Amino acid sequence: MSSLRQRHSERTRDAIVAAAFELFASKGYGETTIDEIAERADVAPRTFFRYFPAKEALIFHNSNDQVDAAVARLRARPTDEPPYESVVAVLRAVAAEFTHADKRDMMLAKFAAENDRLFEHHRAVVMCRFEEGMTEVLKERAGPQADALAIEAAVAAVLATFGTAVRSWLRGGAKDDFEPILERCVSAAQGAFQDAPASAQH
């Protein structure tokens, strides 16, 4: 059972998120200030920063849970499955969830299309954490003798493709199914690798 302090913390965080999205819906993301969010949530601005390092973090407030769920999915894949297939299977499962966007996802898409800093936050914070989690699982699966650098590079390449698909989906307003967008990006990446020369030409 969660402690009283933990429940209070969760309520405060939820209140800040709810206040922010109410203001975003009425005023717009860019026009809403942190002070206004804090006032609507009935907390001090310094309390806001204890929960969120920046306004951008509010938009992706549930990204940690989403990343943790995706990493858990990867950990649950068969250990004898090729790593690439495991990662793509997880990304396709995430894509299926994205396809059923709710009202907040639609708002997120609108704000993201209008604010480049949101895409910067997604790439620098959300995707970085996703990459670290997936890499950790594959390193554990491969064992201590595996080429850690190769695993890191491979995961980075695949997740860069996923990030491109997410940003394209958001820029399009999150109105279309996400799965076909991901498949187009995955196919393009596979094709690029297949067409690349095996060695440098002299």
Instruction: Please tell me the predicted confidence (pLDDT) of residue 76.
Output: 95
Q: Give the torsion through C-alpha atoms of 69, 73, 74, 77, to 10 deg.
A: 170
Asked if 157 contacts 99 with a C-beta cutoff of 8 angstroms, the reply is: no
CA atoms within 13 A on the CB side of 126: 26
Q: What is the pLDDT along the chain (202 residues), one digit of tens a residue?
A: 458 888 888 899 999 999 998 998 888 888 899 999 999 999 999 999 999 988 888 888 788 888 999 999 999 999 889 888 899 999 999 888 876 666 666 666 677 767 777 777 778 888 899 999 999 999 999 888 889 999 999 899 889 898 889 888 877 777 778 899 999 998 887 776 555 444 344 3
Say what the pLDDT of residue 97 is. Answer: 80
Cβ atoms of residues 16 and 43 within 8 Å: yes
- The pLDDT value recorded for residue 168 is 86
CA 163, 165, 170, 176 dihedral sign is negative
- Give the burial class of 184: count Cβ atoms within 10 A of its Cβ; 0-12 exposed, 13-18 middle, 19 or more buried: middle
CA 163 vs. chain centroid, Å, equals 8
Q: How far is CA 35 from the centre of its chain?
A: 26
pLDDT of residue 194: 55
